[in-house]
Amino acid sequence: MAFDEDIEQKITGRTYEECKEKLFNLYGKNFRIVNKVTDFRPGGLFYLKKKPVTIVTYVVNHQKSYAEEPRISYSGSYSGSYSEEEQLQKNREAILQMQGSNNVMVSKKIDDMTNSIEELKREMSQQMQQLAVSTQDKHETIKKIEEVLEQNEFSFSYINMIEEKIRNDFSLEQLDNFDLVERRVVDWIGESISIAKEYVFRPPHVFIIVGPTGVGKTTTLVKLAAQFVKNYATSHDGHRPEICFITTDTMRVGAMEQLERWGKHMGANVFKAERTEHLQTLFEENRANKDAIFIDTSGYSPNDATHIAQMKLLLEVPGMNPDIYLAVMAGTKTRDLQNIMQNYEPFGYKSVIVTKCDESEQFGNVISVMHDKHKSISYITHGQVASRDITKANVVDFLIRLENFKVDRIHIEDKFAEDR
């Protein structure tokens, strides 16, 4: 029986020499190699790595097939001969043997994969069990502190920070004393609150409040002006300061009228600036004869990057050197607070004013975000009376607002006296 020389066949191996050895074992010298290429095929655990393989294309010669018992190596010697029919049968047996070997290899890889998956499942199960045990083994004092912090809407990262401090600072015996741990946690919360320092500005002291819509920027600006007038009169033998208001808010209906009512009450002029040139002209006209200038701004969504950038450009007046505050509402969610503070960062605001504190019962959100963002708090506002409902921020006011914490008022007033 003869083989058709025109029929090309392929065989694979790890190397070209291995392919040649396989062919020699099958056909003796009755083959001719037509081509060889190197390819990369999946291999390793989960077939994630690729292994090089050599693919040899060959044809079998017409002359009698040459073979002996399958050779161990390509360099093995030749002796004896078989009929074409006998050789064909041996070739078939060799091919079947190779296929069986390949099947065994594939089966082994599948078994390896199955074993690896089972091992991963066992490891994951152990980790989950360890996590469950860890949670169950958490000391009751730590659990209770975490619950109270969550009730006050402290952020997840802040709570983790407090838990780590508890684990580092207290022994197991001390953890049994909940009052001791609670007192220390209140101290840590107070120490994490940064209160803005007051700076002396050369007249005119320019105040600007920025922030999203709805936080009460205009009312807060008026409260800030009323406090400035009061403090100025106290430190200048009753003399009233010269102030004026400028609004850049062209979006909100009635913004100008609201300022004009308060301006009339305080004896202060109110101006409107729609462009940087207008604001610069008004600043130049008033800088020589005013002790303070209060600038109101438009409120935009914190995600409205275009209008926020335009407002920043409008406020960039050479030589003005404003004292910029970001106004945020006490009841704002933690994630929204983070977004607001991030998007108003380009203004370079000096500190934060927390507004509408009378409308919120939890302040953990504010404390957490201010701590995470490394920002200080200058004022808090509460109520609608513009002439009085603004207070210089202090640590004690935040701590006494903590819910379900036992707060030692005398202790915290002594400890944080410098921040009052």
Q: Would the CA dihedral through 232, 235, 240, 241 be positive or negative?
A: negative
Asked if residue 28 has pLDDT above 70, the reply is yes
170-184, 198-212, 246-260, 293-307: segment of lowest average pLDDT: 246-260
Helix (H, G, I), strand (E, B) or coil at 57: strand
Contact 242, 289 (CB under 8 A): yes
Q: What is the pLDDT of residues 290-300, one digit of tens each?
A: 999 999 998 88
Burial class (CB in 10 A: 0-12, 13-18, 19+), 104: exposed
Contact 207, 292 (CB under 8 A): yes
Q: Closest by alpha carbon to 84, among 2, 194, 198?
A: 2
pLDDT mean over 35-59: 72
Give dist(CA 60, CA 63) in Å, integer. Answer: 9
Q: What is the pLDDT of residues 194-238, one digit of tens each?
A: 999 888 888 999 999 999 988 999 999 999 999 999 989 988 888
Contact 307, 213 (CB under 8 A): no
Tokens 């407002």 sit on residue: 311
Give dist(CA 106, CA 54) in Å, integer. Answer: 18
Cα 171–Cα 177–Cα 181 angle in degrees, nearest 5: 75
% of the chain residues with pLDDT over 90: 49
Give dist(CA 236, CA 89) in Å, integer. Answer: 118
Q: Where are the beta strands (DSSP E) in 334-408?
A: 351-355, 377-381, 390-392
Asked if residue 73 has pLDDT above 80, the reply is no
Asked if residue 79 has pLDDT above 50, the reply is no
**C-alpha of 314 from chain center:** 31
Q: What is the DSSP letter of 363?
A: -
Q: Closest by alpha carbon to 84, among 61, 100, 105, 110?
A: 61
Give dist(CA 199, CA 134) in Å, integer. Answer: 49
pLDDT at 74: 39
Asked if residue 102 has pLDDT above 50, the reply is yes
Q: 170 pLDDT band (50/70/90 cuts)?
A: very high
pLDDT at 70: 41
Report how far apart the first and last C-alpha atoms of the chain are (Å, whole number): 107
pLDDT mean over 24-52: 73
Kindly report the average pLDDT of the chain as a whole number: 82
pLDDT at 17: 87
More reliable by pLDDT, 131 or 216: 216
pLDDT mean over 260-279: 91
Structure tokens at 392: 């210089």
Q: What is the pLDDT of residues 340-390, one digit of tens each?
A: 999 999 999 989 999 999 888 889 999 999 999 999 999 999 877 766 789
